[in-house]
Each structure stands twice: as structure tokens, then as C-alpha cells.
Amino acid sequence: VPCTSPLLLLLLLLPPVLIAAGPTMLFLLAFFASIFQTAFTGVNERTFLAIKPDGVQRHLVGEIIQRFEKKGFKLLAMKLMQASEELLKEHYNSLRERPFFSRLVKFMSSGPIVAMVRNEDMRG
């Protein structure tokens, strides 16, 4: 699922302790995301990827990453995390009116996911 929100990418990739620091830290993250937004747009656009809880549980993380690398994509960041329902509702907001929305959020928050960012430009 492509993600163009720099703030969401930062929240996914930062340690939870920084996110838990409160409104001041979130303000700073939003500020820096707006300054460096060009890092997430244009020619070298980034794509957010997630290995779902069932993929993590079935120990498929290495195999999935290997498939991307064999295709020539460069992974720029990766983090094993437990996504909160709040974060997932924001990420899947465009699907909010769909009948499967609540099941999707429940499933994606049912276990750890591997959040990754890869480049769109296969040259790295």
C-alpha cells in the first residue's frame, strides 16, 4: 500500500519511546516531516510495505525481504512493531466506509508486523 504521509512513515520507523514522549515530540516530528517532505515525493518516491501478522507468525519475513531484494528494490528502513488500532485506522482511513474495515484493523493489530520503506527507483 503506497504511503505518502511523511509523518506516518516517521511514526512507524521511530522508536516507541520517542512517540510516547508526548505532544512536543509529535510537533517536532510533524515540523521535520514538512521540511523533508521532498524525501518522500518526486523521483525517488518511497513506498511503505508491511508484512502482516500472519506472515510474521509463519516466519516468512526473510523470504519476503529476499523477494524484494532479488527484484532490485532497496529497503531503506525496517522495524518490527505492534501497530495500534489508532495508527491503523489512520493508515487505512480511505477504506473506512468499506464493510471489512473493522476486521482489517483488528487483524492488523492482532500481532506484530514488519513495517518497511523501500525506494521506487530500482537504481537505489
What pLDDT sits at residue 2? 52
pLDDT band at 14 (very low <50, low <70, confident <90, very high): low
Say if residue 57 is in the same domain as residue 113. yes
Say if residue 49 is in the same domain as residue 12. no
Model confidence at 87: pLDDT above 50: yes
Range of the domain at 63: 45-120
Helices (H), 1-124: 6-13, 16-19, 23-35, 53-57, 61-70, 85-91, 101-108
Question: The domain spanning residue 87 has which CATH number?
Answer: 3.30.70.141
Q: What is the pLDDT of residues 51-81, one digit of tens each?
A: 999 999 999 999 989 988 888 888 888 999 9
Phi, psi of 99 (to 5 degrees): -65, -20
pLDDT band at 21 (very low <50, low <70, confident <90, very high): very low
Own/partner pairs, 78-82, CB within 8 angstroms, 24+ separation:
78/114, 78/115, 78/116, 78/117, 79/12, 79/13, 79/114, 79/115, 79/116, 80/56, 80/112, 80/113, 80/114, 80/115, 81/12, 81/16, 81/112, 81/113, 81/114, 81/115, 82/109, 82/111, 82/112, 82/113
Say if residue 24 is in the same domain as residue 61. no
Say if residue 25 is in the same domain as residue 63. no
What value does the mean pLDDT of the chain take?
Answer: 75
Say if residue 113 is in the same domain as residue 89. yes
Residue 71: inside a domain: yes
Of 24-33, 50-59, 76-85, give the lowest mean pLDDT range.
Answer: 24-33
Q: What is the pLDDT of residues 92-101, one digit of tens each?
A: 899 999 999 9
Residue 78: inside a domain: yes
pTM equals: 0.62
Measured distance CA(60)–CA(4) in Å, rounded? 26
Say if residue 55 is in the same domain as residue 90. yes
Say if residue 26 is in the same domain as residue 81. no
